[in-house]
Amino acid sequence: MTMKDKYKKVAYYPGCALEGSGHSYNRSTKAVGKALGLELVEVKNWNCCGAMEVKNVDPKLQTYLSSRVMSVAANEMDMDVVMAPCNGCYHNLKKAEYDLKNDAESAEVVDRLSKKAGHKTYESGQVETIHALDWIKDTIGEEGLAARVKNSLSGLKIANYYGCMYTRPRHIFPEKDQGPGSESTSKPHFMDDLLAAAGAENVDFPLKTACCGGAHTLSDSDISTKLVLNILKTAKLAGADVIATECPTCHSGLEMHQIRAEKTLGEKVDIKILYFTQLLGMALGLKAKKVGVHENISDSIKFLKAKGLG
């Protein structure tokens, strides 16, 4: 089976953020999937991946929690691909996969907890975890996407911000940096490729994987605000009027610290922040509301209407 066929129907793991602050990412991911004829089957009774909170207290418990999601997909749903649009979930499932393959102690803990919880133990390699970017890039591709565009993103200048958890640490993403066609950990480009196919103009943005202080956004807000402000100003200097995101944590951080920078530092940067799935959805002819633009913290509706979108 080709990758194109393999990813047409995947187990969908939205994760906690997509049911809360990242709801517009959930809505737009589902809407884009439907518009592209791709099938998402939500993981039954899914649990938290261990996110930041559990991982901080007990990393092996996080490995177990992520492994349970993969176990349900593999053993109860007979799926072999799990798609996680959230960088945090994607990262944690990838890390669990790596740990189960390379660390006997992690495998022992996961087996013990799985038996205690009464479900089959996840075995490394049973499923492949992919990101929403892989899902669209590998099934539809740039040519397929361009052929389906009804409302070109032409005229939009976009800085693509991937954040850190999509590419770091490199060892948990063995499929990346594998030459032509694969994603790069140093200069990721999948989001750039898809948005360009939808007609957008990507600007040369040097901070696409730079630290935004995300994990410290609440405990050390001033550091995060300064880092985010510099990311926003750099995107603006690069000529962008939109920052495209592919992670609910990055997205919320950029939006919230954009507001906080104005309030605490008196610096306003006029740049819109939208999920790449929202942009792709509008390019496919979906209304702004259908892809949840109204659910974002920042207001982009007027801007999008002026550009002939939404």
* Interface residues toward another protein, by CB under 8 A: 52, 55-61, 64, 91, 95, 109, 112-113, 163-165, 168-169, 172, 186-187, 206-207, 209-211, 213-216, 219-220, 223, 226-227, 230-231, 233-234, 237-238
Q: Hey, what are 253's tokens? A: 């951080």
CB of residue 305 to another protein, shortest distance in Å: 30
The secondary structure of residue 287, as a DSSP letter, is -
Instruction: Select 208 or 307, whichever has its Cβ closest to another protein.
Output: 208
Contacts for 310 with CB less than 8 Å, ≥ 6 apart: 282, 287, 288, 289, 293, 301, 304
Instruction: Select 111 or 142, whichever has its Cβ closest to another protein.
Output: 111
CB of residue 130 to another protein, shortest distance in Å: 18
Instruction: Select 85 or 310, whichever has its Cβ closest to another protein.
Output: 85
Instruction: Select 43 or 96, whichever has its Cβ closest to another protein.
Output: 96
CB of residue 224 to another protein, shortest distance in Å: 9
CB of residue 283 to another protein, shortest distance in Å: 28
| Burial (CB count within 10 angstroms: exposed 0-12, middle 13-18, buried 19+), residue 216 | middle
Q: Hey, what are 160's tokens? A: 């693509």
CB of residue 72 to another protein, shortest distance in Å: 20
Task: Round to whole Å and give the CA distance between 75 and 108.
Answer: 19
Instruction: Select 113 or 153, whichever has its Cβ closest to another protein.
Output: 113
Task: Round to whole Å and give the CA distance between 236 and 157.
Answer: 10
Q: Is 216 helix (H, G, I), strand (E, B) or coil?
A: helix
Q: Which amino acid is at 155?
A: G
